[in-house]
Amino acid sequence: MKLYTSLTSPYGRKARVMLAEKRIDFELVQTDVWDPNSELLKFNPLGKVPCLVLDDGNALYDSPVILDYLDSVTPVGHLIPETTRPRIQVKRWEALADGVLDAAIAIVLEKKRAPQLQSADWIARQSGKIERGLKVMSDELGDTAWCTGHSFNLSDIVVGCALMYLEFRFAAVNWRKDYPNLGQLTDKLAKRNSFKNTVPPAS
């Protein structure tokens, strides 16, 4: 299978961490989503990464679909619970972390526009989503070791990818001060090979 992604995409990182944790072989196809001639458009009409192209040519997107699929590829070491209640709880953490990422990326893109076109209101609206999202993450994590359940699972992968993206792109925002429990979780996740080997290159 081939994973189309950029090395800086936090959604692509979710997939790469899952592939590493599940020890699944794949080929990474580095993809520039802004290239109008990108091969990606043959597989994902939305032109977004990550996109997972299976050996039979089937293309999967977006990242929650890809991660759900990857978890089913090998029968052992499930990272998404199978029973409904814990599964939905994990998927909700994924929606929360992805929502924080969506807001962070909206700000990054807005700030790339010419200064006179940037909207301070829009940036403030997105910042509010990040601030409220982090507070809920911190409150719900409390003093437990993992986001849900008693061991590492998808909820930790998505939160790790979101928090590490904030550090990567918003180094000035010190969420660790307000939410030390999120900082501790991030540090613990950063020690795993799956996270170590997917650190985004400076760009």
> For binding to ligand GSF (CB under 6 A), which residues are involved?
9-11, 33, 47-50, 62-63, 98, 105
- For the CB of residue 144, give the shortest distance to ligand GSF in the complex, in Å: 26
- For the CB of residue 174, give the shortest distance to ligand GSF in the complex, in Å: 23
Pairing of strands 27-30, 2-5: parallel
- For the CB of residue 9, give the shortest distance to ligand GSF in the complex, in Å: 3
Closer Cβ to ligand GSF, 10 or 81, answer by number: 10
- For the CB of residue 62, give the shortest distance to ligand GSF in the complex, in Å: 3
What is the spatial distance between Cα 199 and Cα 197, in angstroms, rounded to a whole number? Answer: 6
- For the CB of residue 76, give the shortest distance to ligand GSF in the complex, in Å: 25
- For the CB of residue 163, give the shortest distance to ligand GSF in the complex, in Å: 15
Closer Cβ to ligand GSF, 147 or 179, answer by number: 147
Closer Cβ to ligand GSF, 49 or 100, answer by number: 49
Closer Cβ to ligand GSF, 107 or 189, answer by number: 107
SS (H, E, C) 112-166: HCCHHHCCHHHHHHHHHHHHHHHHHHHHHHCCCCCCCCCCCCHHHHHHHHHHHHH
Closer Cβ to ligand GSF, 137 or 179, answer by number: 137
How many helices and strands in the chain, by DSSP H and E? Answer: 9, 4
What is the spatial distance between Cα 13 and Cα 7, in angstroms, rounded to a whole number? Answer: 7
Crossing angle, helix 10-21 and helix 84-112, to 10 degrees? 140
| Per-residue CA distances from 8 to 32, 152, 160, 169, 203 (Å) | 10, 23, 14, 10, 8
Alpha carbon dihedral 88, 96, 17, 77, in 10-degree steps, equals -20
Closer Cβ to ligand GSF, 156 or 179, answer by number: 156
Is residue 66 classed exposed, middle or buried when 0-12, 13-18 and 19+ CB atoms within 10 A define those classes? buried
